Amino acid sequence: MIIQTINCDFLIEESGRTNGCISVYSDSLDEIQRLFGSLEIERFDRTDWKYKVCTCKQDLANALILMVKEINYSDFTQSRFQQV
């Protein structure tokens, strides 16, 4: 799953390492540190995903809740969601 924010993109996928572990990749060290700062952040050798953390589903859920709380709903207009 890819999540795009104003500051960066995140790729979230199941980790092959440990059962229940989720891998979260990002192109922004600042944002991955902000959301998962207590976890070990690995440098990853891909051009589009430079940083990676392995986390549990609960920590991922907490980060997603934080992202939703940061949405500026005043930026939404009705016309953006109407189909042409």
What are 20-53's pLDDT values in tens digits?
789 999 999 999 999 998 889 999 877 789 999 9
State residue 63 phi and psi, 5-degree precision.
Answer: -65, -40
8 Å CB contact between 59 and 80: no
- Band of residue 77 on the pLDDT scale cut at 50, 70, 90: low
Domain of residue 58, residue span: 2-72
26, with CB counted inside 10 A (0-12, 13-18, 19+), is buried
Count of the separate structural domains present in the chain: 1
- Band of residue 73 on the pLDDT scale cut at 50, 70, 90: confident
User: Does residue 54 belong to any structural domain of this protein?
Assistant: yes
Question: Among residues of the chain, what percentage have pLDDT more than 90?
Answer: 49
State residue 45 phi and psi, 5-degree precision.
Answer: -90, 70
Tokens 């922004």 found at: 28
- Band of residue 7 on the pLDDT scale cut at 50, 70, 90: confident
User: Does residue 83 belong to any structural domain of this protein?
Assistant: no
